[in-house]
Amino acid sequence: MLNRVILIGRLTKDPELRYTPSGTAVATFTLAVNRNRTNQEGEREADFIPIVVWQKQAENCANFIGKGSLVAIDGRLQVRTYDGKDGQRRWVTEVVAENVRFLDRREGGGSQGISTFGSEVEFTDDDIPF
């Protein structure tokens, strides 16, 4: 069996870092991933995917990336259920990240750059889908 997800996108807000009762770090954030098509108004469509990161990688995410950061996620899809306060069963689908790669670095002004195998690519705030 194979359960592997690879995504590249931008964070919609800063990661939220929490700790379990046993002291294990867990960070959550939502990743905006553009689709290859546009909607009827000519705007780019995006999917907003919940991401969960554990342990030291969770702390690194909370410390080094934030809203608008470009990241690559390598992980697995997880579906879980829980009972809400109203007694209704809720289903959650999320990606549990096994590896998070920070693809950009913050520089002065409104642009961010990433190094991709020796070449420099520039992004502006217009590239962020939110």
pLDDT over 70 at 34, yes or no: yes
| Cβ(25)–Cβ(17) below 8 Å | yes
Mean pLDDT within 52-69: 96
Nearest Cα to 94, choosing from 33, 5, 1? 5
DSSP per-residue codes, 43-88: PEEEEEEEEEEEHHHHHHHHHH--TT-EEEEEEEEEEEEEE-TTS-
Return the CATH number at 35.
2.40.50.140
| Cβ(120)–Cβ(103) below 8 Å | no
How many distinct structural domains can be found in the chain?
1
Tokens of residue 50, six digits: 């919940």
Predicted structure pTM score: 0.76
Q: Which domain does 47 fall in, by range?
A: 5-127
pLDDT over 60 at 24, yes or no: yes
User: pLDDT digit string (tens) for 64-115?
Assistant: 999 999 999 999 999 999 999 999 999 999 999 999 999 986 553 333 444 3
CA angle 39, 4, 95 (to 5 degrees): 65
pLDDT score recorded for residue 104: 84
Residue listed under structure tokens 């642009």:
111
